[in-house]
Amino acid sequence: MATLQDLGVSAFINILGAFVFLLLFAVLRIQPINDRVYFPKLYIAGKRAADHRGARRAINLNLCTYFKFLSWVPGALRMTQTELIHHAGLDSAVYLRIYTLGLKIFLPVMVVALLVLIPVNVSGGTLLNLRKDVMFSDIDKLSISNVSPGSNRFFIHLLMAYVFTFWTCFMLYKEYSNVAFMRLHFLASQKRSADQFTVIVRNIPRVSSHSTSETVDEFFRRNHPDHYLGQQAVYNANRYAKLVKQKERLQNWLDYYQLKFERHPEKRPTGRTGCFGFYGRQVDQIDYHRARISELDKRIASERQRVLNDPKAIMPVSFVTFDSRWGAVVCAQTQQSKNPTQWLTNWAPEPRDVYWQNLAIPFFSLSIRKFLISIAVFALVFFYMIPIAFVQSLANLEGIERVAPFLRPVIEVKVVKSFLQGFLPGLALKLFLYILPTVLMIMSKVEGYVSLSSLERRTASKYYYFMLVNVFLGSIIAGTAFEQLDSFFHDPPSQIPRTIGVAVPMKATFFMTYIMVDGWAGIANEILRVKPLVIYHLKNMFIVKTERDRERAMDPRSISLGENLPSLQLYFLLGLVYAVVTPILLPFIIVFFAFAYLVYRHQIINVYNQEYESAAAFWPQVHSRIIASLLISHVTLFGLMSTMKAAYSTPLLIFLPLLTIWFHKYCKSRFEPAFRKYPLEEAMEKDRMEHASEPSLNLKTYLANAYLHPIFQMFEQEDQKEEATIEVRIDKSEHQQQQQHVRSSHSQYEEETSAQTHCHHEERTSSQYQYQYQHQYEYQHEETHMRSEQSPPHFVYHPGVEH
């Protein structure tokens, strides 16, 4: 097991690694060539313009800036919370509050534990009497294992458990109240957005002789006659999107080969057609990729026509809009049909939060998918027990030596032993967990969630259970077995529970090494951004030709809540479990929370570009996980003290989990509705204020394209490219005449659109897609009606409501 010397080696390696990462970051961030790597958020927000002079001067020659290598620290702390919310959104601000919550909880707990519990544990002396039966180090003398069985000292641990629980609940209550207020204030002060007026309707029943759009329109005109405004149909365009992505990849390769040919015109690029160019026939890469793109264009056009003409391409899902927030609230939070499995309504995610691929999944298959994924997650959790046990074998070499003494000459080398026990276990566990979030995200997508925010929350839940079972429980169980292998084989069965009870606190040394690897060096690596740095410069070297290409080469990423939230919750779990058991672990956690808060604050301000805004919808999950950590700490302490013959003090622990569960239920009923529902009073107030300030607001125009399927946006972009290509290729002598014709056509189109506002069709010629607005009354132009029937309905409006 890891000794004080081993922990010292681990601390030295991780602190040195963190210092090197921070030093490299301080140097690389001030180089003009890396500006888009370390400040992409500012470019996206328009707060930082491209410096072409700086781009030509790749290296910063101002020596004074190198002496200010810590200038990023005050810059990260300077922005207030209000400015941070305005700059990065409420999700980012609340995410940072989790780190400050950790500091608020564990700083006082650490001070009290170090001043009260450490002297009590050190003076126990019971490990000296068990030296022959149980292996321990000097650090274990600071834990509860060093208290004599049946000692009255356990009443002090019992009292501290109550104090720490009450303090944690008090801070959780205050934080839940603050976050709920911040959420409601954020929603109330938020500018007008499409999701405030929109609900998503799923499992729409199919009616014979009616299209899905007609069925939805008829249902909501009948049941919401005063506030129903219109609906946007959803199309299954997944196959079309795959073809477009495939074309984009081929186009990127074509651009690369053309650029290569421009640099070396004496030699055309050639290669083989097989995988990675290892086999296949030899071809001219430019001609080959042009031919493949041309062939793919035909497939894309065919698939496009299929989507437009096939009624089955319209899914039983729709985005329904209302003329007021109040109407949307009533629809989203009520049951629409006598059949509870049909016409299921919920708040629509904001347009950038929609995960369009999953909208095409039939509703009846969702429960089957979730069941199968649950089985897969269960299997994955237990499959990972194997590498976790292997990691624990590295952390507990003494047990291995007793079983396999022939390895002793290698293991007993002081440097090798310190490295294996002090650094390698935490690093190995970190590597095993590296690909796990990606796998769990794929599983969540298979389950069928329709928003990116819900996908990340579900991924976070799976990852949390995995961390709980494997990293925490698995490490303790497997580690205890390896540590006390000899005792398990030779002691009578009646002594095994006592041996485990004494050995569980000793796993604190392993978690200390894990915290240093993941929470110290890992966080420093996060700010260095090695992977985005390398990828950006590779793209800049081979692909980037224009300023637009350079913007696309940036990779700001997001906070990755699906990965970071469970890691955070693991630290809360470790801190709460070991606060009474082994308090010496708390300073490691405090360092993590303080350092991570500083790093992530800098990243949120300068780097991360959150893909969506959920208004802190993940907070109830965070609160529940911390409550679960409290309960686990109570159960662990109860089991530990029961093995130490603390017959008088142990029963008093029963009230702690009961009080914790009551507190959780109270917070759930008091604050969680703010995260699940929207107050009618607030919706009506916002509607009244908006009508007073903008009486002539046309919501039809505002909401028309809000939930436009990406396939139609692709159509628009393709048409713009085609028009731009045609305009570039026209002869100079015809340029003026052609421009005049385009302006005339555009003007005529605007006049027709304006004259037909009360109608709900917008036409699209061969170079301009028709945005159709269907009606329940006859159109004024029969020819327009005949042409529009050839394309699917784009947006259906209820004609009885004027806005």
pLDDT digits (tens, 9 = 90+) for 709-742: 766 665 555 555 554 444 333 333 333 443 444 3
- The tens digit of pLDDT for each residue in 235-270 reads 887 888 888 888 888 887 888 788 888 888 888 888
pLDDT of 25 reads 92
Within 13 Å of residue 321, how many CA atoms lie on the same side as its CB? 29
Query: What percent of the chain has pLDDT above 90?
Result: 28
- Nearest Cα to 248, choosing from 302, 306, 307, 297? 297
**Residue bearing the bigger pLDDT, 273 or 412:** 273
- Nearest Cα to 234, choosing from 776, 764, 711, 704? 711
Confidence grade of residue 392 (pLDDT, cut at 50, 70, 90): low
For the beta carbon of residue 741, count every other beta carbon within 10 angstroms: 11
Q: Which residues lie closer than 8 Å to 329 by C-beta, 6 or more apart?
A: 678, 679, 680, 683
Measured CA to CA, the distance from residue 714 to residue 297 in angstroms comes to: 13
- The tens digit of pLDDT for each residue in 205-229 reads 888 878 888 899 999 999 998 899 9
- The tens digit of pLDDT for each residue in 145-196 reads 777 777 788 889 899 999 999 999 999 999 999 999 999 999 888 888 889 9
SS3 794: coil
Confidence grade of residue 787 (pLDDT, cut at 50, 70, 90): very low
Average pLDDT, the chain: 78
Of these ranges, 301-305, 570-574, 688-692, the one predicted with the greatest mean pLDDT is 570-574
Q: What is the CA radius of gyration of the chain?
A: 32
Q: In a 10 Å sphere around its CB, with 0-12 CB exposed, 13-18 middle and 19+ buried, how is residue 235 labelled?
A: buried
**Residue bearing the bigger pLDDT, 66 or 207:** 207
For the beta carbon of residue 68, count every other beta carbon within 10 angstroms: 10
Helical (H) or strand (E) element with 217? helix 212-223
Contact 28, 532 (CB under 8 A): no
User: Letter for the amino acid at 369?
Assistant: R
Give the relative orientation of helices 154-189 and 619-642 as an angle to the nearest 10 degrees. Answer: 170
pLDDT surpasses 80 at 343: yes
End-to-end CA distance of the chain: give it in Å, rounded.
73
Contact 137, 1 (CB under 8 A): yes
pLDDT of 712 reads 65
Token pair recorded at residue 349:
């995610």
Measured CA to CA, the distance from residue 151 to residue 649 in angstroms comes to: 10
Q: Which residues lie closer than 8 Å to 670 by C-beta, 6 or more apart?
A: 176
Measured CA to CA, the distance from residue 139 to residue 582 in angstroms comes to: 9
- Nearest Cα to 148, choosing from 647, 645, 577? 645
Measured CA to CA, the distance from residue 219 to residue 207 in angstroms comes to: 11
SS3 425: helix
Helical (H) or strand (E) element with 317? strand 314-322
Q: In a 10 Å sphere around its CB, with 0-12 CB exposed, 13-18 middle and 19+ buried, how is residue 800 labelled?
A: exposed
Measured CA to CA, the distance from residue 69 to residue 65 in angstroms comes to: 7
Confidence grade of residue 592 (pLDDT, cut at 50, 70, 90): very high
pTM of the predicted model as reported, rounded to 2 decimal places: 0.80
Query: What percent of the chain has pLDDT above 70?
Result: 74
Measured CA to CA, the distance from residue 432 to residue 442 in angstroms comes to: 17
Q: Which residues lie closer than 8 Å to 276 by C-beta, 6 or more apart?
A: none
